[in-house]
Structure 1
Amino acid sequence: MATTLVKAALSPLLTAPALLALTVAPARIREPILRYLREHVSNLTIKRAITALQWLTALGLASRASAFMSELAQNNFRFQSERHRYNWPKEVAIITGAASGFGALMSKSLAEKGVNIVAIDIKDELPADMRGNSKITYYRCDITDQSAVKELAAQVKEAHGAASILINNAGVYFRDDILTVPSDKLHKTFNVNIISHYYMLQAFLPDMIKAKKGHVVSLASMASFVGVPFFGTYTNTKAAVLNLHESLQRETRVLHNTPEIKFTIVHPTFADTPMVHTHQGELDKLGVVPIPATMVTDAIVKQILSGRGRQIIVAPGLEWISVLRALPHWFQTSLYMLEERSDGKVMKENHEEMKATQV
């Protein structure tokens, strides 16, 4: 509700007409409105309301202009979309972690648009509702094994041709504290959540560079922006995904001169996926309600079809977290300590319960 009100207050489509009606509209329009307002509030209140509308309109316009320039910058200041270069029934999209969650939803959605999907996962087979889809081909592969990824890339290219879309979606999450996280979980989290991105990029991005055409989508998290107690291993990898995304964008410009290639990074909050389901009890105690998984995947598919790259934040009411690191340390730490004071006990209890079940 609060987010909706803020968006409405900063929408020039709402504030500008109201401001114009009260200030420069023809007298036959302006005077009846002012006369009605004077029957209920003082002239001083009306004057203050006009001043508020002026500020809100200016802030709204500035926000829209900033958003436009940011989107332009994320596309190397190229006004034209690359959408015209894509013939979706002939495009090949590589999607990791495709057997469930975001991966399954994106595979089915892009397949509906005609895209040829190379679905990759470690599971033995795809879910039943995906196995019968002629646009989806399944490859079982351990993406943390570089030699397996190289072999996969050769097979895919021979069978389907060069890929023009790569979605690094696969991810794992183990809840543990930094001092006691087991070595196997530590390595698996980093290998799946970030190292595999390197292997997939090394295997599939060269063809995009050669064609000067492609779109790389990286699944990060709101955890890219802030460290969280007992989530440290996971949040470390998601911060790395964000940094990799930024470094990769710059390298493709500097080293390969391919500004045509698009890069999208996605930061969802807790979403209704199998990975989150395993921790639903903990989230319930903290009052966290996961968003629909389709809210995330619909945004990704829409972005791919637009032919433009972008940073996508899918966290209603929590978008402000993305700018937290730009604020002074005293402000950041104050917020953290307030959260720890309100939720720290529950987080610690959840952690102790989890550790007890592992004994």
Structure 2
Amino acid sequence: MAAIRGLVLAGALIALSTAPSSYGAPTLLPLSSARSMLLARVLKWVLAGCLVLEINSLLNAWAENRWMLTNDKSSWQWDKEFAVVTGGSHGIGAAVVNQLTSHGVKVAVLDIQPLSEAVQNDGSLVSFYQCDLTSRDAVHEAAAALRSDHGSPSILINNAGIGNSSCILDLSPKLLQTLIGLNLVSHWYTVQEFLPDMIAKKKGHVMATSSMAGFVGLAGGGDYAATKAGLIAFHESLTQELKHRYKCPQIKTSIVYPYWTRTRLNATIQKRLGGMLKEPEDIAKIMVDHIIAAKSGQLVLGPKLAPLLRGTPIWLQELVRDSQAHIVTGDATSAVLKSS
């Protein structure tokens, strides 16, 4: 559809540019010759701008498809696919599990906490494996168990995450290590477990849940923001290695940047977030629709200009951060125990 729009715009622009000046604008409008010519020039620039946007969209889609011209969806049969979702017992993770099973996908949840009532589990499509994702040995044991029960997964959604609402000087080493272990290092453990089989089959999808905090570090959330920014580098490196080291551009990689979402992770500050809060079900639907579309890419689910913030003048960056400095406050010792 984007290509068709681009061709139509290009044709209109060429026609307008090569038409005689007397036909440069609609003759039915009650405009003088000078104003008609001005309108024609404005239309040219508008059409040119639209064409640039369409070309940019096409290039983005091509890049996200690993520079391949085709995207074969026929290899995905959703009632025969198997997904692993970390942190799938509550919040966004639970909503993702429900969305996947609605398409017939079998799901294994890896979480340290039992499945909550939010997970719609009739026992046929959802299985649970209690796992401390900060432990390499625990991840390996859980992976071996679920492979024995169901085979190797074709979809890995690294969603598990925790947060501290604490200033840098107040955060204990134990809490810091736990957060970094779960929010960032666990991605290495799960990918090391499940990616080799995807590479062997030249089919798979690895999705990571980052955060808008990966673009903006806030007072009281430095540890959380640092891990979410780290996931950006992890995602980019994984994508590059799949293309250039393992020669598997067919394997999809996606990274998701949710905005403030109504989960237990931010329960202590939800009142001051007000209308900014998104529902887990809405975030999960976008994530799973992306998987069902068999696409790679980045899903920015907040202000679309946020990824560009680092390229703006320093004074503007600081004003944005200053405006958000009051949001992240709370009890770090309780918040860290709550997975997203």
* Range class of TM-score, shorter chain: 0.7 to 0.9
Q: Secondary structure at the match of 1:313?
A: strand
How far residue 52 of structure 1 moved from its aligned partner, in angstroms, is 3.3
Indicate the residue corresponding to 2:137 in structure 1. Answer: 147
Q: Residue 279 in 1 paired to residue 234 in 2?
A: no
| Paired amino acid for 1:30 | P
* Contact 1:271/1:291 (<8 A) preserved: yes
How far residue 18 of structure 1 moved from its aligned partner, in angstroms, is 10
Indicate the residue corresponding to 1:220 in structure 2. Answer: 210
Q: Deviations over 1:149-186 (max 9, x none)?
A: 10111111111111100000011111122222222221
Q: Secondary structure at the match of 1:85?
A: coil
How far residue 212 of structure 1 moved from its aligned partner, in angstroms, is 0.9
Q: Secondary structure at the match of 1:283?
A: helix
Q: Residue 307 in 1 paired to residue 294 in 2?
A: yes
| Paired amino acid for 1:31 | T
| 1:177 aligns with one of 167, 171, 196 | 167
Q: Deviations over 1:6-42 (max 9, x none)?
A: xxxxx98999999899997998x9333x12xx4xxx7
Q: Deviations over 1:43-100 (max 9, x none)?
A: 6665544433322322222122112212211221112214211111111000011111
Indicate the residue corresponding to 2:320 in structure 1. Answer: 339
| 1:115 aligns with one of 102, 105, 111 | 105
Indicate the residue corresponding to 1:259 in structure 2. Answer: 249
Structure 2 length normalisation: TM-score? 0.85
Q: Deviations over 1:79-127 (max 9, x none)?
A: 2214211111111000011111111111111111111111222113332
**Counterpart Cα distance in 2 of 1:13 and 1:269:** 35
Indicate the residue corresponding to 1:298 in structure 2. Answer: 285
* Contact 2:88/2:115 (<8 A) preserved: no
Aligned-pair identity (%): 31
> Larger RCO: Structure 1 or Structure 2 (Cα < 8 Å, ≥ 6 residues apart)?
2
**Counterpart Cα distance in 2 of 1:134 and 1:50:** 63
> Runs of at least 4 residues of structure 1 off by over 6 A?
11-27
Indicate the residue corresponding to 1:51 in structure 2. Answer: 41
| 2:306 aligns with one of 299, 304, 321 | 321
* Contact 2:109/2:129 (<8 A) preserved: yes
**Counterpart Cα distance in 1 of 2:268 and 2:7:** 43
* Contact 1:223/1:239 (<8 A) preserved: yes
How far residue 128 of structure 1 moved from its aligned partner, in angstroms, is 6.2
* Contact 1:295/1:314 (<8 A) preserved: no
Q: Secondary structure at the match of 1:93?
A: strand
**Which blocks of at least 5 consecutive residues in structure 1 are unaligned?**
1-10
Distance 1:340 1:45, change over 3 A: farther
**Counterpart Cα distance in 2 of 1:179 and 1:276:** 21
**Counterpart Cα distance in 1 of 2:163 and 2:289:** 27
**Counterpart Cα distance in 1 of 2:269 and 2:261:** 11
**Counterpart Cα distance in 2 of 1:50 and 1:278:** 56
RMSD: 3.1
**Counterpart Cα distance in 1 of 2:331 and 2:41:** 54
Indicate the residue corresponding to 1:81 in structure 2. Answer: 71
Distance 1:54 1:230, change over 3 A: farther
Task: Select between 161-170 and 265-274 the one with higher mean Cα deviation.
Answer: 265-274
**Which blocks of at least 5 consecutive residues in structure 2 are unaligned?**
336-340
Q: Deviations over 1:125-152 (max 9, x none)?
A: 3326523252111111111111111011
Distance 1:46 1:290, change over 3 A: farther
